[in-house]
Structure 1
Amino acid sequence: MHKATTIFDQPPSIVTSAAVGGKTENEGPFGKYFDKINDDPYLTADTFEQGENQLQKQAVRIALEKANLKEDDIDVLIGGDLLDQCVGTTYGVRDYDLPFLGIYAACSTMSEGLLLASMLTAGGFADMAMAVTSSHFCTAERQYRMPLNYGGQRPPTAQWTATAGGALAVSSKGSAPYVRGVTIGRIVDMGVTDANNMGAAMAPAAFSTISEFFTDTDLSPEDFDHIVTGDLGKVGSRLLCEIFEHEGMDIRSRHLDCGLMIYDSEKQDVHSGGSGCGCAASMLCGYFIPELRSGRIKNILFAATGALLSPTVSQQGESIPSVSHLVWLSHEKGSVIK
């Protein structure tokens, strides 16, 4: 184990996953990979916040059903979201009678939840741990920016918060995909103050964590099918590749960003791409995990990114600290690639 990176001697297994989304996500190029689509933004509830609660409840239930698991099979549930006090999670999973750990890592919540679930199971502290997260366009927009009916102009750097959620379960026993290792991210703040340009704020954090993983493991981009970031969008993805190039490493041919994948930027008016906890979570749980399980993808680095701001500190002129946590996922359980 290095200071931030742990490579597991006995890699835990992701035994199930589920992705749920909304109408806009279904209209994107990966709509068929969602386990459930909700055309109603309220999800039959009375408020958007109650609707987001349903996203998490659905994701957990579907993930359990897909693997024929019961609540009693889960030793701990780890979850968080974007809302104040993480009410999307606490109200969403309160009906599940499970030991609960609430976390906050903004849009990197799924990578942190998966990281913690993997460490708990690999370390023998749990036989099976579950991670869940969500985001909702309407709840995030009026919390972080402006009332929905205001109709303000969105700049080109702005991103579209995904109405989506994802849940997965990690077990000390099972088959592919495996969690081979993790890198805990550091808070990085390069002085970006524009809350409508979170890609620029988060790209340095993604670079910090991914490059630390390569340094700690002596692996390189060529050892992976994909290096997947959470929701850097157009601006952040370009910056990340440029920072790596400046450091003498080319990741362009390997890099994928969930914020660029989840929507069709030519047909959907999402500006710089997708964002929100549910963006990376639904792409991971709906697309990447099944692809890894089948062997169509062999190895990826999943490094979701989070902008750790609040409306209050942003209005006070504070810059945006960011973090990215990394998980190495593989179809193979065996020896290190090199």
Structure 2
Amino acid sequence: MAQKKIGKQTVKFQNPPSIISTASIVGPKEGEGPLKEYFDIILEDDLYDQDSWEKAESKMLEDAMKMAIKNAKLLEEQIEYILAGDLLNQIISSSFAVRQLQRPYFGLYGACSTMTESLSLGSMIVDGGFADNVLCATSSHFCTAERQYRFPLELGNQRPFTSQWTVTGAGAAVISANGSGPYITHVTTGKIVDPGIKDVNNMGAAMAPAAADTIIQHFEDTGFNVDDYDLIITGDLSGIGKPIAEELILTKGIDISTIYKDCGIEIFDGKRQDTHAGGSGCGCSASVFAGYLYKELKKGKYNRILLVSTGALHSPVSANQGESIPGIAHAVTISNVIS
């Protein structure tokens, strides 16, 4: 019998894992945004002294993981599992980065939802007694994502205003059976929600129903209400998707407007930096969580947050074949107290 399962899609941990360290690395554009003081490293250029953007992304992820381990005051050999993923084909950024650490590895793909997917599965491993220290990480890069999903930058294509700016960033977190918090207390695993949108330049709208579905299910499963949280923050809906998700949740009588933010809106100054709808990408919620959110939890500004990373599960192949864009969202409750 599943003793830790509550409701339809949620797990409540008996021994909530502690997030004992994080690390974040972002690109120059992200380093000019409103959250610049929270990031551990801001790159001077998008190539990061590499000879391709793909290699730069992998180096960002590798360095973020190593920094998180160092911040946790652990040795690399004390990390029992690494759970990581990214946006590129065959998750090459993660695989090449983890190659350098030589630790047991689960490669994950949840598109932009990968950070909370890794935190969810990592927490299950720790709470299940299978490991004491697990490293969760992910990354994205504007230039690599544009080359894979849309148009190479060299073409200079005009971007519609519904499009989002893929965050150049990496975030990593060490979760442990030991530590004094913040703790991951609940995980609500999302399911595929497909509103039928086919426009790859309108991913916020494609992902919003999945975010709403997971948040609604989280409240139903846990019995929590809006007053139980200081902050609910989605990963990548930005200016188009956020109000859609908010409206969908309101149809169930749940008004999250007073505590609801989105990482893709927070990381950029949209008007000053001309990021159109806002930020997206695996590195969006990863760097905002590992930088801003974790540090504000440690300071006590927030005591309980719901982090909901959202992913658009499409590819150039499926898009070119006229397929719609399925969405998914995974939620984790992060709290300074165990309850």
Give the TM-score normalised by structure 1: 0.97
Distance in 2 (CA, whole Å) between partners of 1:314 and 1:73 is: 42
1:15 aligns with 2:20: yes
Distance in 2 (CA, whole Å) between partners of 1:93 and 1:9 is: 30
133-142 vs 240-249, which deviates more?
Answer: 240-249
1:189 aligns with 2:194: yes
Q: Once superposed, which parts of structure 1, at least 4 consecutive aligned residues long, lie more than 4 Å away?
A: none
The number of residue pairs the alignment matches comes to: 334
Residue aligning to 2:293: 288
The partner residue of 2:100 within 71, 75, 95 is 95
1:38 aligns with 2:29: no
The partner residue of 1:316 within 321, 326, 335 is 321
RMSD: 0.8
Give the TM-score normalised by structure 2: 0.97
1:247-266 Cα offsets, whole Å, 9 max, x none, are 22111111110000000012
1:264 aligns with 2:279: no
Unmatched 5+ stretches in structure 2: none
Contact 1:144 1:311 in 2 (8 A): yes
SS of structure 2 residue aligned to 1:300: strand
Aligned 1:1-338 pairs, distance under 5 A: 1-2=5-6, 3-333=8-338, 335=339
1:221-250 Cα offsets, whole Å, 9 max, x none, are 121001110010101001011111222211
Identity, % of aligned pairs? 48
Distance in 1 (CA, whole Å) between partners of 2:50 and 2:283 is: 19
Contact 1:176 1:292 in 2 (8 A): no
SS of structure 2 residue aligned to 1:267: helix
Contact 1:241 1:251 in 2 (8 A): yes
Distance in 1 (CA, whole Å) between partners of 2:46 and 2:335 is: 35
SS of structure 2 residue aligned to 1:107: coil
Unmatched 5+ stretches in structure 1: none
Distance in 2 (CA, whole Å) between partners of 1:161 and 1:174 is: 33
1:286-310 Cα offsets, whole Å, 9 max, x none, are 0111211222210000000000000
1:263-321 Cα offsets, whole Å, 9 max, x none, are 00121110000000001000000011121122221000000000000011101110000
